[in-house]
Structures are given as C-alpha cells and as structure tokens.
A and B are shown apart, each in its own frame.
Chain A
Amino acid sequence: MSSISTPVAGAHEPHGDAAHGHHDPNLQHHFATKEQQFDTSKIGIWLFLATEILMFGGLFVGFAYMQSRFPEAFFEGHKHLLKVAGTLNTVVLLVSSFTMVLAVHYARTSRRKKLIICLAITMFCALIFLGVKYIEYTHEFSEGLYPGRYFSNPDDPTGHEFIFFSFYFMMTGLHGIHILAGLCVMAWLLRRAIRGDFTSNYYTPVDVVGLYWHLVDIIWIYLFPLLYLIR
C-alpha cells in the first residue's frame, strides 16, 4: 500500500555518507556523489560570474551613456592614457589566462609540479599587471588627471574630460580590485597545491578560481579597446 507520507529510501542503496562519504574528506555531507558536488560548485561559480557581469555591466552602461553624450571629451581624454602599457597588460592577462587553464588541466590530470608552476606564473602575471597599472596611475596623477572634482587639466578642450577619467579610474580600479582578490585566492590555491590537495579526484577549487580568473580577463578584453583605443 502506497503510503501518503514519503517513505525513506528503504529499498534503495543508502546514499551519501553511509556509502563512501565518511571516508572522503572532500565530499561534503549533503552531497551524494563527487560528481553532484562538482556540478553544484560549477553552477555556483557561474551564477557568481553572472552577478559580476551585471555589476561591471552597470559601469559599462554608464560609460556608454556618457560616451554618447560627450564623444569628444572621451576621445580627448583617452589620448592621455599610455597605450603601450595597456597593450602590454592585455598580453600579460591573456598569458595568465593561458597558464591558468593549463593549471586546471594539470590539476585534473594530477600533475602537481606542473600545476604549481602554472599557478606561480599566473600569479606572477597578475603582479606584473598590477605593477604596470601602478606606473600608469602614477603617470596620470602626475598630469593632474584625477577622478571627478580633483581632475585638473588646464588644456582640456572639452570641459568634460573629467567624466572620462572618472570612468577610467572606476572601471580599472574595480577591475584591479578583482585582480588583487584573484591573487589572494591563488596564493591560497598555491599553498594547497604544494600540500598536494589537488588530484584528478578533487580539483574543484582550481577549476572555480580558473573560471573567475578568465572572467576578469574577459572584462579586460572589453576595457582595453573601450578605454585605450576607441576614437
């Protein structure tokens, strides 16, 4: 007789901790299988990336809106930027994305040493990126190109260059914070990688951080032409 209350899975193989979870420290108690846990983490990080896209998206919308109002000011403003530095940083970030995806690959294939090397290179690239950014900011500050009310450029022919620089600092600043956050998380990954935590059996953190890092790269892929190149 079918009971109205839901029966427990008496006839079934017990799932989760009873079967093997107790013995696997990497399987959390509320998941039945590693694959379920892995897929859940992937959905989680992709949802997080969606929120990142919409948050940066707000800045992009604001940028587009103000650019359409003051195209000359944005054009004049972008001339002050160091194009070489921007291009260099683009290359650096693309390379770091490449080493990151290799790190994921080596984690998945349990090659610890190569994983460590790739993570280290990625972090090194992130540091270069921040260093170049520092040089750029110093250059802009030395010309009085501060955001908002602190902007001073007596030669501004348009009167609205300060809006371009406000967006420049907000967008690259928020992006820079993301690079910094990525750097911190990768330091944590590196520590765990050295400890030997990641194998083909468990490499979720590497994969998840990798996805985050690629999104940060994608955002720069758009920032670079918008800020440095657009005429």
Chain B
Amino acid sequence: MADVISAPFHAGTTPVERRNYLTEPKGLWSWLTTVDHKRIGIMYLISVMAFFLVGGIFALLIRLSLFDPSHVILGHKMLDAETYNKVFTMHGVIMVFLFIIPSIPAALGNFVLPMMLGAKDVAFPRLNLASFYIYWAGAALAMVAIVTGGVDTGWTFYTPYSTSTDTSVAWMAMGIFIAGFSSIFTGLNFIATIHKLRAPGMGWFDMPLFCWGMYATALMQVLATPVLAITLLLMTIERLFRIGIFDASLGGDPVLFQHFFWFYSHPAVYIMIVPGMAIVSEIIPVFSRKTIFGYRMIAFSSIGIALIGFLVWGHHMFVAGQSQTAVVVFSFLTFLVAIPSAIKVWNWLATMYHGSITLETPMLYAISFILLFTIGGLTGVFLGALSIDVHLTDTYFVVAHFHYVMMGGTVMGFLGGLHYWWPKITGRMYHERLGQIAAALVFIGFNATFFPQFIMGGQGMPRRYYNYLPQFQPMHAFSTVGSWIIGAGLFLTLGYLLASLRKPYDAPDNPWGGKTMEWQTQSPPLTENFEAQPVATHGPYDYFPVGTH
C-alpha cells in the first residue's frame, strides 16, 4: 500500500464472496450455540437495538404526554399519572440496564476488541455466550415485571417508596440483578482478554485506545456491579421480609440505600460513557488521518475516570440527608473527576488540528459527541457546585445533563461506532449520504429536545412531574417536537442499515484507512478472525509516511 494517505472508499482490496463468520457454519442453531465473539456480539447488537427501540418508544410517549399540561393530544387523552410514572420508570430501566450498559461493550466491543488485539476470541468464549443468555434471562424477568403491571419507582428504586408501592418491583429488581451478572462476565472476559491475548509485539501502549476504554469499563463492571446485585437483593428482601435495613420505621436508613445504590450507579454512568469516549478516540484519528495526540494521557484518563469515579457517588445525594461533611468531601472529589474527561476532549481537538479531515457519518457522530459531551460536562460543573446543585438537583436540569452525557455522549459514540464498524461487521457499505442526513437529524433533534430542559430546570421545573405549571408549556412542546426529529433520524438509520444488508458484500477490507488490526483482515472476517496470528509492527495510529520521523 502507498505511503501517501489515500482517500476513503478506495483503500483496501476489491471485495469478493468468500468464506466468513456470517455464513459458516450455517443454521439458527449454530448461531444460538456459537462461542464466536463476533456472532455473540451480533446477537447482543440485535438485542440492544430491540431494547433501544422499546425504550425509545417509551421516551416518545413521555414527551407526547408532556406536550400539553392537559395531556390531551388531538383530542386523545395521553397517559394518566400512574401510567406516566410507569412509563418513565421503564424508559429508564430499559435504556440504562438493557441498552446503554451492554450497547458498546457487549455488542460492539465483543465484536472488535479481540480483533483489535489480534486475538482469535475473547479469553472465555463459553462465559461470553453464557453472559448473553444471562442478559436475556434478566431481560425476560424485566418483561415479566412490565407485563404484570409495570414498575413505578423510577430507575433508582429509592426506598421506602420501592418497598411500599404495590407494583412489580420484585420482578424488576430480580431482572436487573440477573442482567448485572451478564455485565460482570463481559467485563471479566475483557480484562482477561486484554491481559493475556494481545498479539505478539503489542505492548500495553501499542493497544488501540478503544481497548484502554474497554479495560477501564471492565474494571468498573467487575468491581461495582456486585454491589448493585446485593443492593437490589437487600431491597427486595426488605420488601418481602421487612428486615429493617432501609426502612426508617423499622430502624433502618433510607439514605443508606442511596449509598448502596449510587456506589454502583455512579460508576455505572462511567460504565456507560467511557466506552463512548473509547469509540471517539478511534474515529477521530482515522478520519483526521493523523496520529492520536496524547495517547498516554487519553489511556491514563480512562483509568483515572474508572478509579476516581468510584469516589464521587455521594454527589447524587447532596440534599438527601447526608452529613454536611460528606457533602463537601464528595463535592471536592466530583471536581477531580471532571479533569480526566476534559483531558480527553483537549487531546481529541489537538488530534483534529492540522489533520486531513473528511466528514463521513462516523466522524459526524464523533464531532457530535465532542460538542454534546462538552455541554454535558460543563453543566456537570454546575451540578458539582454545592449551592447551585441545591437549586438544580431533582429538576429538568439534571435530566438534560445526563441525557447530554448518556445520549449525546454514549449513544452518539454507539451510533458512530456502529457506522464505523458496519462494513467490517456486515461486509456492506451503508448509504453514506443518508447516513450524514440521519446524523444531522439526530444532532438537531437531540439539541431541540434537551436544551430547553436546561432552561426549564433552572427555572425550577422538577423532574418526574406529570402535571406542570402552564409557564413551561412552550418549552415542553418544543422539546416534544425535538423528540420527533430524533425519532425520524433514528428510524432513517434503521432503514438504510437494514437496506444495506440486501446488497452483496461490497465493503472493502479497510474502507476508512484505519491502522488498527481489525482493519487488516477481510470484511466480514473469518471465523478465526485472521488467516494467521498477526504481529503488531507499528502503533495503532501511525498516520505518518514511514521514514519521515
């Protein structure tokens, strides 16, 4: 291949029909019993997309019901208060536990991580398959909870509400309890894989940054998720047996529940966002055709986020009845955790600067990520500042903040990664122009939906409100219209991605000119990934003509 950087779409070999992991062995049974990380990744991908759709429909319902304080749209009464509470709870639970947490690690990460390392599979392939079925067992219990009347606690399950409401809390808690183990097993697998299955020649600092992000994520999955399991278990037992740990009337402490819950769930928001950052760290250098700037800083900042992220959970509880001492300590630590995220943003910008940039769909999503995550991060500073948090917590400001991080961050990263690796996964190119249009729609719709919520929150609109003061109606309506634009963009995406599957294989092995190992094998890859054990001979982002440095 030439030393001069070539434009995309012309790099790589001409695709031909050849044997690959998709077609051999054949048959549904061979898929359901596969231990191939790529097939498990695809099964995860289909599952999380299905739950993304379900959670998204709940989101559209919420927004539709809030269009007008009367909840009447075109002469139809939308949700009543109880249904509304159940819908936002299930939106949260499905999006967090069944979509975002497994989305990047278990679906995309499963597919590309071993290939990026030059490995044939993850360390424990059977555990990988088990994790997929455990995920579905948990999801099935969550579905049982929805069918048997739903849950109205909010995804945070705060006691004593969750131990006294008569909805299907126990089913849902057990569903999440079980799904948590699938997350643990994925993380366990990734740590072992990264430690022991790197290709010959690939040192820790020769790994693609995606792998560093997955490593940091996996650390948190392994160390935090067990506490979620025990928290939900204790909450369920409290509900059934009244054991007195979280119930104030029995001598327990509801604030202790919040400590337990957030000890997992704060690291969990980093379990969600760090993979998004990891994907952006891949996309930016590839589409800037330039070496990543500050490789070590980005790698260390992932680990830094993972470690400091464990120490800041109390910032969810500034007004919850913690001691003032704890509040101040947690606020201080919260500001420290902002630094590694900022470092990443600066290094991405420095990578783009003096690059050779093209704006294909993955790059559009990566730039969306940077802009939206910046807003999410800066508004996080508001919420870390104590006196302002007292005013803003439990308002729409918080809702907007975490959607800017979770959706503006993780989902943009997920969509970027999905488009980036789509040719490798399926062997097909999607319609590029439609991809760009959809990315623009999602970006515009997202901002239209959530930016007004910052203003509403600042003005004192509390979250989880079914009825609201008439003064907020215009902004709620604006927000609802924004949600339709997101919906349009995402359905368009679904459409052209599915349409691309009807084509014969047309994707080159390396459509974007990536330097990491997954691009050095055919598209779609062989079952054993590489024809022979690859050896790392250069860094993952060496976009310089050889011999000029």
Contact = CB atoms under 8 A, between A and B. Distances in A.
Direct A–B contact in complex, judged by CB atoms less than 8 Å apart: yes
Interface residues of B, number: 63
Contact of A40 (B195, B226, B243): B195
Contact of A12 (B1, B191, B533): B533
A170 to B, nearest CB: 7
A224 B532 CA distance: 54
A12 B188 contact: no
Contacts of B519: 5
Contacts of A47: 187-188, 191-192, 222
Nearest to B542: A4
B242 A149 contact: yes
Nearest to A147: B241
Contact of A44 (B188, B224, B241): B188
A51 interface: yes
Q: 5 nearest interchain CB pairs?
A: A148-B241, A58-B230, A166-B243, A55-B226, A30-B120
Given A40-B123, A43-B191, A148-B237, A70 B535 contact: no
Given A55-B227, A58-B230, A58-B234, A8 B124 contact: no
Interface stretch (B248-256, B478-486, B494-502): B248-256
B1 A39 contact: no
A36 to B, nearest CB: 6
B227 A54 contact: yes
B510 interface: yes
A69 B520 CA distance: 61
A142 interface: no
A57 interface: yes
Contact of B223 (A4, A14, A36, A54): A54
Interface of B: 1, 3, 114, 118-125, 127, 184, 187-189, 191-192, 195-197, 200, 222-227, 229-231, 234, 237-238, 240-245, 250-253, 256, 260, 510, 515, 517, 519-520, 528, 530-538, 542, 546
A2 B546 contact: yes
Interface string A1-38: 11111111110101110000000000011111000100
A45 to B, nearest CB: 9
A146 B382 CA distance: 48
Contact of B252 (A44, A50, A66): A66
Contacts of B536: 6
9 contacts: A2-B538, A4-B1, A16-B120, A51-B184, A51-B226, A52-B226, A55-B230, A147-B241, A150-B241
B207 to A, nearest CB: 13
Contacts of B3: 4
Contacts of B184: 51
Nearest to A51: B226
Contact of A30 (B125, B227, B538): B125
A147 B244 CA distance: 10
B44 to A, nearest CB: 19
B520 A59 contact: no
Contacts of A51: 184, 188, 222-223, 225-226
Contacts of A66: 244-245, 251-252
B119 to A, nearest CB: 6
Interface string A55-71: 11111011001100110
B243 A163 contact: yes
Contacts of A178: none
B123 A44 contact: yes
Given A8-B531, A9-B534, A9-B535, A62 B242 contact: no
Given A69-B253, A162-B244, 14 more contacts: A2-B537, A4-B515, A5-B520, A9-B534, A30-B197, A31-B197, A36-B196, A40-B195, A47-B192, A54-B227, A148-B238, A148-B242, A163-B245, A166-B237
Contacts of A54: 223-224, 226-227
A48 interface: yes
Contacts of A52: 226
A160 interface: yes
A9 B243 contact: no
A163 B533 contact: no
A214 B427 CA distance: 48
B230 A59 contact: yes
Contacts of A3: 1
Contacts of B120: 16, 29-30
A43 B538 CA distance: 28
Contacts of B241: 147-150, 166
Contacts of B251: 66, 69-70, 160, 163
A95 B252 CA distance: 38
A40 to B, nearest CB: 4
Contacts of A40: 123-124, 192, 195-197
Contact of B517 (A6, A9, A162): A6
